[in-house]
Every structure is written in C-alpha cells, then in structure tokens.
Structure 1
Amino acid sequence: MSLHSEHIREIEKVGLGGSTNRDETVVESWRRCITQHRLDPALACEAYIVPETQLREHRQQSEQLISIARSGLENLFRHVAGQNYVLLLSDREGVTVEFLGDPLFDNNLRKAGLYLGSEWSESRAGTCAVGSCLETGEALTIHQTDHFDNTHTPLTCTAAPIYDAQGHLSAVLDISLLRSPQIKASQNLALHLVTATVRRIELANLMAQTRNEWVLRFSRSPEFLDVDPEAAISIDGSGHIIGMTHDGAKILARAAGLDWRYPAGLIGQPIARFFDMDTDDLGNLTRTRPSEDRLVFARDGNMLFAHAIEPHYVLRGTQTISEPIPASLRRLSNGDPQLAALQTKAAKLAGKPVAILIQGETGTGKEFLARAIHDSSGAKGRFIAVNCAAMPEQLIESELFGYTPGAFTGALAKGRKGLVEEADGGTLFLDEIGDMPLALQSRLLRVLAEREVLPLGASRAKPVNVRILSASHRNLAELVGKGAFREDLFYRLNAATLSLPALRDRDDFDWLLTEILKKRTADTGSTPVLSPEARLALQQYTWPGNIRELCNVLDVASALCDNARIQLIDLPDTIQKPASTSFMEEKRASDGVTALKQALAASHGNVSAAARLLGVDRSTVHRQLQKLRRQAAH
C-alpha cells in the first residue's frame, strides 16, 4: 500500500471516529475538513493563488499591519537565513499579503502555495498551519502528513496568530519549509521564533495605536522587563482597559477568571478588576524606579514585574503638557508626592463628566477633596453631600429622591425635593457609599443610567443632570464579592478612583499642622504655638483617625493651653509619651516586619489579602515592602 493511500485511510478512519497518534489539533482539523468543509482527502487540492486585483484589495486592507509587521518579519528571516524557510503573513481570510523567501526557489514556492497571494484557509486548503491557526486561535505546527491534502504533505509549516489591540484575531504569521526532517519536534525552535516575533508585532501595534494613554508592559523577569516584555495592555485616563496584546489578554482573563476568547469582557473594564492597583499607582511603575521594585499583583495572586509608559502629549501652539492645578485642589497638600500625583489627576478629571470614587481611611479628607473637585469643575449647580452611614435607612430614600404631597404618613403637605434633585447641575457627593442599602443602590443605578429621578409617590420621573462623586473607607470590591454591594453600581461609580493617603504616610505633616493652627487663629483671634515637646509628640503619633483626629486634638489643646502655647500636657494621654523611645520603636518595627512576613506567607504573596489580615491599606503594605527591599540592598 502506498504512503498516499495510507494517509487517505488514516483520515477516513479519523472521520469515522477512529483513533490516531496525531495531535488533537490535527484530529479536530481533519474532522472539520470532512464534516464542515466537505473536503475529500482522495482528491488533490492544488495550491490556490488569488487573482492580482483581489490580492491588491487584501493588501490594501492589511496595509497598516504589513507596515508594522515588516520589521519583525525581516528580523525573523535573518534568524533563519540559509535554512530554506519561507515566511508568510496571511490576513484573517488566509490570504498571504506579505512574503519573504529565497528568490532562487520562486517557481517551486509558488507551485507549493508558499507565495504572495496564496490562500491557506482551512475550507480551501484543508488542514494546514495558517488555516488551523485561524480556526483555533493558537500557535501550532502542521508537519508533513498532518496536512489533510496529499499535495501538501512534503511541507512542514508553523504558524502563530496575530491579535489586534481589541483582542480579535487579525492575521497569521507562518514559517514553512518545502522539505524537512521527519521528526515533528525539529520545528520546536521555529515555533518559538514565530511566537516571539508575533508577540513583538502585537506590542508594536499596541504602541502605535496608544500615543496619549498609559501602556503597562509585563514580564516575569525584571532583567528583560524594559527591553523585551512578554505582554502589554493600554489604559485610558479613567483607568479602564482600552487595548491589549494577546498575552496581555490572557493575563487579564486569568486574573478575573474570564475567557480570553471573549475580549468584550476585558475591554472597557477598570484595571482594578484585574490587578491590586489603580491609575494612581502607574506613576510608581515607570523607569524612574529599578525594575525589580516594579511589582504588580493580579487578582488571582499572580505576581508580575511591570513597566508603565506615560502618555505622550503632542504640543499644539502654546498648549502645555500639564494642566494647572486649581487653587481649591492646591490647598489640599504641600509637596507630598502621593498627593501631588492625586492633585494632577483630580485637576484633569474635575471638568470631565465621569463618576469618581474616593477611597481612603476615615478622616483623611475625602469630603474636602470632593468639594475641591466640584469647585474646580466650573459646575453652576450646588455641591450636596450625603453621609450614607449617618442617615437612618428609613429616611435615606425620601431624602435622596424626595416625595410628592401625601406620599406617606408624616410627609410634608407640599412634598419635598430630594437631594439628587437639589444637586441638579452640580455635584452629589455620597460619603460612605458602601453603607447604602441594596434596595437604594438599584434606584441610584437608575439615576446614573437614565439621568432621571422618581420621587416617592410620583408617577413621572424628572430629568436631572448630576455629577456623582462617592467615597468609602471600605473595600467596595470585597463588598461586591460578598453580595453586599451591586457590581454594576460599583463599576458605574469608580469610572475613576482617587486614593487619599493616611496622615501617617504623608510627607507634609508639619505644613498641615501649621495650616490647621492658622485656622484656629482665624476662629479665635490668637495664634496657638506648639512647644518643641508637643510638636515632637504629634509627629510621632500614628493618627488612626487621620486629619479629623488631628483637628480635634488641636481644638482641645488650643482650649486647654495657657497663653496660647500648647504644651505636652495639653495633649491627650494617648499622645503624651517620652520623646526618647528608640528601644520601643525598634521593637515595634521588628514586630511589624515579622507580622508583615507572616501575613504575606499566609496570603501566598497576595498584597490585598495581606493588608486585610494586618488591618491596613494595601498601599501601606507596598511601602513597607519597598522599605524592606531598600534596607536589604544596603
């Protein structure tokens, strides 16, 4: 029996459900060829070259991709020079739109279909590397008799898919030989080379499309992070995914438990859904820091090194790259690096109609920031603040949405306009949004989605134009996981996230002290002065209540002090402590390092989980880790 007949019989056997030692990818392709494409393995299928006019159309449609891919193709061809390989770039229909090969073999290559304009779709050519790659979306090798058609059995072909920035398969890169060794494993190096080339083409394509947005590149090794990253994503100013390479899509999908084959579930989602970070953290991942310090943690616990590339803004006329910080936002800090980045971001977002979620510990000044954003926005309406935690549950609905006359027992005869309507044309600030009852979350979602409010007892909704700012000291993503907060509302509210640092982590504590004391001067007409001992005690205290606690302490101290001079004795007992406490401080630091290591071990390196175990914010854990690395380096 001839090899030709044996090959046909094997395919027919597989078509009838029989077994074979071939790769599963080959078996599935053979079955598609028989059942879907209605191909006959006994009939030879010569290579097909599309007409010149049709080829021109295919090349025009792929012009941008060809331009971006050409450098990668030429570099790959240099790597395999002298080994008789042919490189084909095929579009999503399987038509070869770019070709690199030895011109001495042009006639043989054209006859074999390894030529410009050849169509390698599975429905026309049967099982082949390009066609099977288009069907499966995965890199693969189709070696000799893996091919469905006997015309192609001398060939060995290795292909990898090229995905566009939106996650859709747009092309295939193929590297083929007219003749090769019998062992399929001989093409393992070819598979590696073509996959690496595709990765670089996708990255170049993403970078070309992303000029004015952030790009975050990933690597499992810090040494190659900046020179040859493994994957990348692009992120818009509000922290949402707008583009990705194929390996970037796989990282995102794995982090959120999703399927990369459905990119619509990845594009448009906030970065915080996939990583233990938000846009405020991107500035810490640029090349200004050593690559080994640029770590990010995916939601599935995966740890990666990351390189953030800042947006490139083109100057037009007298336009400047950075926007001026409005006075209301400038007043929030004085030189603290974290707050400086936050002020810049808030200034850019202030005039944009996007919802902002402000996160931070209790007392860090979330309402002050919200009011500063409103004041910077140019909105003509009012700033209305609602504390969702302080308002009784039975009243919050009528307070927010208002009611008509006689809507319920005890209602005002004239009815009442709700706070949402009061904020029409302005800003509604929902403090401690995590404490809003689930039933009201649904009604708030309707306000956001439909831009209208329905008062209690009313039959007709009223249109409203309200900017929503919200705040919480709680982890809303965790509440979503527990079913205590609506996921759709969560993603509506945190189109952008601003994270306020705790007072103990700020670099401008002395400035803040002075500013608060100046306010006491304006209120009382005298200027309190801090004794050196009192100032030192205030500086050493950890401030669990943050700025609010500091204001209260200074209020009481100003009232108790004699001759407007605040002494150590005027401070609360918890703050009064000897200045010389080096032994205790060292012990606490040592205990803190031990606790941090134990928490990281218990959470398998997941920073968010470790922060929850320690009862601190994740940014605090990141800073402690960075401090330990610096100490270890010295």
Structure 2
Amino acid sequence: MSSLADIDTHVREVLSTVNHQLATRPTSDSVAQSWARCLNEFRLDPARFVTPPILTQQELAARREAASDLIACSKLEMTTLYQQLADPELAVVLVDPEGVIVHQVSSVPFGEAIGADGLRVGALWSEREAGTNGMGTCLVERDCLAVCQHEHFYSRYTSLTCSAAPIFDDRGVIAGVLDVTSRSKLLQQHSLVLVGMSRQMIENRLIDARYRHANMIHFHSRPEFVSTLHAGKLAVSDSGVVLAASRSALFQLDFRSHTELVGKRIEEAFNSSLEDMIARSIRGSFHPVTVYSANANNRFFLVAQTPRDAATSATRILMTDPTVRDVSPGARNRTVKQRDTREQTSRLDKLSHLEFGDPGMASQIQLAARVIQRKIPIILKGQTGTGKEVFANALHSISPNCAGAFVAVNCASLPENLIESELFGYRAGAFTGAQREGRRGKIVQANGGTLFLDEIGDMPMALQARLLRVLEEHEVTPLGTENTIKVDFQLISASHRNLMELVQTGQFREDLYYRLNGIELNLPALRDRADALALMQHILESELDDPPALSAEAQHALLSYAWPGNIRQLRHVLQMAVALCDGAEIRCSHLPAEVVHGTGASPATRPSGAPSMVQAAHLADDADTSALNAIQLKERETVLALLDEHRWNVSNVAKGLGISRNTLYRKMHRLHIRLSHDGSDPSPEA
C-alpha cells in the first residue's frame, strides 16, 4: 500500500476495529488486541510510520553474547528452513526476548529491500517500537501466529506476511522468536508449520547445549516417534533428578508447568529408575524400550542415553582405529574394560525379552549374565509358570557353551523308573523294552552344552547320589555298561520347592544341594512384577503383528488377578482373548470369569481342602452349563478329559485334535470351559 488512499483505508480499519465500530471484524482476536495495545497502551499512530530503533554495534554485541547459545542452536535450523521454503523473497529472522533481531537469513536483494524499512540485524521489533508484527506480537501472545499483510499496525508493512513461533527454554521462559517474513501471502500456512517444527528442533538443541553433561531421555507414546522432534525430552542428573524438560515432555506426562517436574526424581514421571532405563536402552541397542507413567497406566517408549564426554570418545578411537598400534598400559586397561562392557551389553541384549522394567527381575538377569560366563552352577527358584525354562534357555544362549545343545529334563513329569535311563542312557539290551541300538542319556546329549534339570527337588534320593558323582567326576556310566563317558556341561537346576527345607527334612542330599547351588536366582511371581502390563503387551505382540489393545477395564482385571499359574497362565489367557476378540480391543468379556472377578488364589494362599483349578473346571456350577444341550455336554466332557490328560497344555491338545489353538480356545469358550489349571502343569510354554 503506497497510495494515500490505501493508507487512509488501513488507518480507518485499525481505528474502527479498536473502537468496535465495525459490524464484522476484519482480523483475528490476537491481531485486534494487538492493535488496541498499540493505540491505547503504546500511543502509536497508524498514520505516522516510525522506523524501529537500531542498536549500536556495542549494544548489539552485548545482546548477541547474551543470546549466544540461542544463536548457535538456531543457525543451522534457520538455514535449513530458508532452503526448504525456497523463495528469494523471504527472510528467516531470530529475535531475542526483547525483540532485537540477533540473526537473519535472506537473499542479499531481499535483505536490502526490507532493511530499508528497519527489518535487519540490530533492529528492535517489539510491539512498542514496531507495532503489530509477527515477532513482537508473538512475544506478547506466547504462541505461534501469523500476521498477514493488512494485519500489521503500520501500513508500511502491509506488503509483508509474517509467520512466527516462540522459542521456550528449559524453564518455560521465552528465549526468543523464530520468524519467516515474506511478500507471499500463499506461504503463510505452509511456513507457519515449518517454523513450528524448526522451533521444536531449536528447543531440543538448547537442552542438549545447556545440559551436555546430563543423561538424556527421549520418549513418546508411539515407538516410531521416539527419534523425532515430536518426542518428549528430559535431561536427568546422575542422581536421577530431572534438570530440564521439553514442552512435549510436559504435555505427554500431563504436567502443567516445568516446576511440577523439574527438580523432582525421574521416578515421579516413570515407574522406573534412571539406572534401569539406561541399562535397558543399552541392552536394546538403543531401540525404544517400554516404560509406564508413575501416576497412570499410560505406556511410553523411550531411549535413555548417558552423556558423551571427551574421554569416552578418545577411548572409542583407540579401540576402533587400526592405525593405533601401541598404547600405554592405562589405555590398554581402558580398552579391555570397554570391550568387556560391550560384551556384557551384548549378552544383556539377548536377555532383554525376559523383563520389561521390573527392577527385581533386571537385577537377577544382570547377576545371571555374569556368573554364566564362569560356568557356575545355577539354581532357579520361582513358582510354577514363572518362566524358569525360558530363563534357563536364554542363559544358555549367552553362555560359553551356547554352541552346544540345551537339554531340558523335568524331573517331576518322568516316572521314577525312567528318570535314570533318561538321564544316564543305556546300552542295547540293557533291559526289557530298551531300544535295540541303545540310547544316549540327557547328560551325554548335553555334553558341550547346557543341562537344565527342572523340578530337581522331585528327583529320587538314589538318583541324587548318581548325579552327584557325575558332577564331581565329570563322567557318566550308561545303564548296562561299565564304560564311562567324559562330559562337560553348564548345569542349571530349577525348583518351585524350598530345597533347603527338603535338605533339613532328609528328602534331598545336602552335599548335592551345595554342589548345585553355585548361585541361587529368584524369579518373581507375576503378581509381584512391576512390568506386568508391559509383559502382557509383549505376549500380545508375539501372537500378532498388530494385536488388539487392552481396554482399561481389561487392564485393571488382569493386573488385579493373583495369577497362580503366573506367566504360563497369563499366556494362555491372552491367547484365548486374542482368539475371541473380533475388534481392535480386548475387553473383560474376552477374559475368563475367574480373572474378571479376581477369584484366582495363589497356591500358597489356597486352603488345603480346596479343589485345584483343574478340579474347579470339572465342578463348574449349573449356570455355566445349563445352556448346553446333551451333545455339547458330552463334547465338553471329552475336551476336559483331553485337557486333563495333557495337563492343560492347550497346544498339545489342539495338536492331538488336529485343529488350531485358536479354534480350540473358541470351542472351550463355547463349552464354558475356563482356562485354568493347578500349579503342577510342567509345560514349558511360559
């Protein structure tokens, strides 16, 4: 607008809007309020243009020094933004909290053109000095906004369109404003989105720059967003105190201000410690790991990183640079330690599927990863279904014997007269019914690998003596022969019974107990695990690539249940729920009645005279079966008998019937068969 008529029209529009003389307001509320401030508070005249004041070189240098970290974190993003918009008729501008332009990116011709009107480095573009404009009004509104052409207070600027976004520091204070000023009205919405994205990058860079010695946590409710600018960002001290938080972090964690989180311990945001999050991130090769909100059931995915200091970088160079032939003893020692750390991290990575945020389980895993390297015998203690065989198999995968076989023997499931032949093997013709060619025993099969003796507390006393001899002499003698076979294996034992009590009552050999008990690891019951919800999600994801979500009611029911069968029972319940769920969400109607109503009692708390859960399934009340006809009742009886025969191993029953597991789950649901079992199911599905 260069003509007097155009200037008069703009002035009348500003005055009429402020004085509420227009039936229809020609601009937004934020711009109208800015016009009112310019007129009534700052006493500016829209008809009389005044060039914004320009700071002296000394004043500008002081301003730029005060905003040095802001400028350093913004330069690259401003250049990238300028290249993205690809318009020679625009400028990317950065102002400090008072509105002084401290950095600007533009083409030379456009920079000279707008510089004549005071839009250049060193100029003060607050509302008080330059009227309504993108940078100054953004400082007042504290929000992203656009000031388009005629919305400027002075008619001198009505050929320009400004898109601005405030930059907040780690305390929630405005550090400056990022702005794109152009002559194109069409760029307004597009540039405003890009300015907002660039602003987020600058805010994250500010946290990195100001807290370079802190631990950084990046998180989001969706794993694919963890490495993007949409992720929340926290800077945390080594002692676990939150030092800084991005606005995205506050929003996702439902904190209204920085003061609610900054200065608090990280455990007040997540149900996990800093040490645990860093350890799990390392084990997961810095892929997002699951955590939960400390105050809700909100699930997040995060990556936690320790600061990268100069010493670590130097050590890494020494370790990887092939041109470095000779280093000092101290450097060699550091290299060895770094290599050991990498190996330990690799081993823990292979065990990452065993826990998802439970501190107790994590400590047992870290301890196991250490002792397995020295071939120390291990005893796993835990209730039935806690995943002892899965844990043992995972330990085998990181042991020095991982190239050998993993051989599992369940001492409770084998008849007493077969345990000896199963363990030690036999020659051809050793006894009636023996295989013609003889048989290698489990111990010989485990030679060079790992032997896992589950439910070792149920091994007969006579066999305990033979096993002790094998462990002491490292050789085995098959039945029916005097020839010995040298063996070397990693031994892992497991029991849900208290072996020391068995020793004290004379049911287990004391010398064998101490030979087995190199170290004892305790696997927590499912009801005691802090990562139960994450474990449920992991099981669902192992069933389907895109599993249904758990409704809030289903989560509450699952987390409130006692889980006497632990992970094995949980897996069966979730498999059945997936089979029955037709939509995108698992609800309580897809879960067994005893889970929904919380009727499951742990074996330790169940009265001695109470029936087992398998028996309870047989004793279902009339309400469960009243709707079934005679044929369905007979079918129900047959399925129950098969389940009993296979000790409620649903996979084996389905295989025997020649149907899929999901089909069997649906059949059980239709026949009102609850997915329950007693504590003796030895199946290794957990």
TM-score by length of 1: 0.53
Matches within 5 A, 1:457-606: 504=386, 532-533=411-412, 536-537=454-455, 553-562=498-507, 564=509, 601-603=550-552
The offset of 1:142, in angstroms, is 0.8
2:288 maps to 1:288: no
Q: How many residues align?
A: 403
The offset of 1:236, in angstroms, is 1.9
Q: Deviation per CA, 1:438-465, whole angstroms, max 9, x where unpaired?
A: xxxxxxxxxxxxxxxxxxxxxxxxxxxx
Q: Which residue of 2 aligns with 1:259?
A: 256
Q: Which residue of 1 aligns with 2:8?
A: 5
Q: Deviation per CA, 1:126-179, whole angstroms, max 9, x where unpaired?
A: 2111112111221211111111222222211111122223332101111101x2
Matches within 5 A, 1:93-132: 93-132=98-137
CA distance in 1, matches of 2:262, 2:18: 39
The offset of 1:113, in angstroms, is 2.4
Q: Which residue of 2 aligns with 1:64?
A: 69
2:266 maps to 1:271: yes
Q: Which amino acid aligns with 1:104?
A: P
Change in Cα spacing, 1:45 to 1:239, as seen in structure 2 (3 Å) is: same
Change in Cα spacing, 1:217 to 1:561, as seen in structure 2 (3 Å) is: same
CA contact (8 A) 1:164 1:205 kept: yes
Q: Which residue of 1 aligns with 2:19?
A: 16
Q: Deviation per CA, 1:579-625, whole angstroms, max 9, x where unpaired?
A: xxxxxxxxxx99x969x9999623189x7x57633458xx989x989
CA distance in 2, matches of 1:275, 1:599: 24
**Most deviating of 19-28 and 199-208:** 19-28
CA contact (8 A) 1:315 1:321 kept: no
606, 612, 619: which one aligns with 2:559? 612
Q: Deviation per CA, 1:368-397, whole angstroms, max 9, x where unpaired?
A: x9xxxxxxxxxxxxxxxxxxxxxxxxxxxx
CA distance in 1, matches of 2:116, 2:29: 29
The offset of 1:94, in angstroms, is 0.5
CA distance in 2, matches of 1:211, 1:170: 18
CA distance in 1, matches of 2:199, 2:290: 25
Q: Which amino acid aligns with 1:244?
A: A
CA contact (8 A) 1:313 1:321 kept: no
CA contact (8 A) 2:277 2:304 kept: no
Q: Deviation per CA, 1:197-225, whole angstroms, max 9, x where unpaired?
A: 22222222222333332212235664464
2:230 maps to 1:312: no
Q: Deviation per CA, 1:3-33, whole angstroms, max 9, x where unpaired?
A: 4333333333343356624222222322333
CA contact (8 A) 1:599 1:613 kept: no
CA distance in 2, matches of 1:142, 1:560: 86
CA distance in 2, matches of 1:174, 1:604: 47
CA distance in 2, matches of 1:156, 1:43: 20
CA distance in 2, matches of 1:599, 1:613: 20
Change in Cα spacing, 1:234 to 1:563, as seen in structure 2 (3 Å) is: closer
Q: Which amino acid aligns with 1:12?
A: L
Q: Deviation per CA, 1:217-266, whole angstroms, max 9, x where unpaired?
A: 23566446436554422122233321233333333xxx23x424xx2223
CA distance in 2, matches of 1:249, 1:71: 26
Change in Cα spacing, 1:76 to 1:336, as seen in structure 2 (3 Å) is: closer
The offset of 1:303, in angstroms, is 4.9
CA distance in 2, matches of 1:564, 1:507: 23
3-state SS of 2:104 partner: strand
The offset of 1:191, in angstroms, is 0.9
CA contact (8 A) 1:88 1:174 kept: yes
Q: Which residue of 1 aligns with 2:165?
A: 160
Q: Which residue of 2 aligns with 1:436?
A: none
2:133 maps to 1:146: no
Q: Which residue of 1 aligns with 2:211?
A: 210
28, 51, 59: which one aligns with 2:56? 51
3-state SS of 1:86 partner: strand
Change in Cα spacing, 1:509 to 1:98, as seen in structure 2 (3 Å) is: closer
Change in Cα spacing, 1:246 to 1:563, as seen in structure 2 (3 Å) is: closer
CA distance in 1, matches of 2:44, 2:242: 42
Q: Which residue of 2 aligns with 1:192?
A: 193
Q: Which residue of 1 aligns with 2:244?
A: 243
For structure 2, list consecutive stretches of 5 or more residues without a partner in the other structure: 313-327, 338-345, 353-357, 368-380, 393-408, 414-452, 459-494, 514-535, 579-686
CA contact (8 A) 1:296 1:306 kept: yes
CA distance in 1, matches of 2:240, 2:209: 20
CA distance in 2, matches of 1:563, 1:180: 87
Q: Which amino acid aligns with 1:613?
A: S
CA distance in 2, matches of 1:100, 1:53: 22
CA contact (8 A) 1:531 1:566 kept: no
The offset of 1:268, in angstroms, is 1.3
The offset of 1:306, in angstroms, is 2.8
3-state SS of 1:117 partner: coil
The offset of 1:115, in angstroms, is 0.9
CA distance in 2, matches of 1:294, 1:315: 27
Q: Which amino acid aligns with 1:308?
A: A
CA distance in 2, matches of 1:84, 1:273: 49
3-state SS of 2:217 partner: strand
3-state SS of 1:173 partner: strand
The offset of 1:269, in angstroms, is 2.2
CA distance in 1, matches of 2:205, 2:145: 22
CA distance in 1, matches of 2:223, 2:508: 59
CA distance in 2, matches of 1:126, 1:337: 61
3-state SS of 2:162 partner: strand
CA distance in 2, matches of 1:70, 1:206: 16
CA distance in 1, matches of 2:132, 2:382: 61
CA distance in 2, matches of 1:88, 1:612: 53
Matches within 5 A, 1:352-431: none
The offset of 1:56, in angstroms, is 1.5
3-state SS of 2:218 partner: strand
Q: Which residue of 2 aligns with 1:180?
A: 184
CA distance in 2, matches of 1:300, 1:76: 38
CA contact (8 A) 1:600 1:610 kept: no
CA contact (8 A) 2:455 2:496 kept: no
CA distance in 2, matches of 1:113, 1:301: 53
Q: Which amino acid aligns with 1:138?
A: D
Q: Deviation per CA, 1:379-429, whole angstroms, max 9, x where unpaired?
A: xxxxxxxxxxxxxxxxxxxxxxxxxxxxxxxxxxxxxxxxxxxxxxxxxxx
Q: Which amino acid aligns with 1:265?
A: E
Change in Cα spacing, 1:615 to 1:248, as seen in structure 2 (3 Å) is: same
Q: Deviation per CA, 1:29-62, whole angstroms, max 9, x where unpaired?
A: 2233334333333432323322222112111211
CA distance in 2, matches of 1:214, 1:624: 36
For structure 1, list consecutive stretches of 5 or more residues without a partner in the other structure: 325-334, 342-357, 370-500, 511-529, 541-549, 569-588, 630-634
Change in Cα spacing, 1:612 to 1:199, as seen in structure 2 (3 Å) is: same
Q: Which amino acid aligns with 2:260?
A: G
Percent of residue pairs identical: 22
Q: Which residue of 2 aligns with 1:234?
A: 235
CA contact (8 A) 2:281 2:289 kept: yes
CA contact (8 A) 1:130 1:159 kept: yes
CA distance in 1, matches of 2:199, 2:75: 11
